[in-house]
Amino acid sequence: MSMDLFSIFDPNCFLFFDFNWMSMLIVFIIYPYMYWFIPSRSNFLLILIYSFMSSELICLINNKYKLNLIYYINIFLFVLVNNIFSIFPYVFCSTSHLILGLSFAMPMWFTMNLYMFINYLDYSLAHYVPTSTPNFLISFMVFIETISNVIRPLTLSVRLSANLTAGHLILSLIGLSFFISKYFIIIIIMVQTCLFILEMSVSFIQSYVFSVLLTLYLSEVKNE
């Protein structure tokens, strides 16, 4: 059972079952069957999302790799759906954990760097030394650029998890005020509603930022 506010982020602490990581798949399992029919409102909404994300991401990808665009759009949808459903009570917030963000960012980052170092070693090493860098700063710049490149998947995952964790904690704290004061319940409901709308916006923004930054990894691959 939940013992504190941070229990909502604990995979081993839940009211009903221990398989909390399964919650991010249950959404897709119980999705209404009308979603699969064409035409339908759900399918029309999905087409709009795909069209919007395609127009946003296609300018970031080289022509050679545009077929991979569907992968980044699916990541966006997966993160967005889990972000939105995790706002509701008793739903495990899987996207607030670094392991989920790293499972998307780390393979992509590692694959792109390995590909570039194997096929375009000179081109890859040139990125570590900016143009017109003085000779006495070359070693220092290589060290700084190496660190900034290595921590990119981590910063991408931390950005997603930190924003969601902060929003969920605020919603939980406001929810606890129902048991503290019953005289300001109308004000509390209004504040909770505004925070809920804000958190819905944050869920969309963070999903968008996550998919765009992943796309930028691919955009750095040399195009021939």
pLDDT at residue number 1? 41
pTM of the model: 0.77
Per-residue model confidence as pLDDT tens digits over 151-185: 888 888 888 888 888 887 787 777 766 666 666 77
Quickly count: other Cβ atoms within 10 Å of residue 151's Cβ: 11
Domain ranges of the chain: 5-219
CA angle 162-108-60, nearest 5°?
90
Phi, psi (deg, nearest 5) at residue 37:
-90, 145
Is residue 210 within 8 Å of residue 57, measured between CB atoms?
Answer: no
* Digit-coded pLDDT (tens) for 13-36: 555 545 667 777 776 666 666 666
Total number of residues shown for the chain:
224
User: pLDDT value at position 10?
Assistant: 63
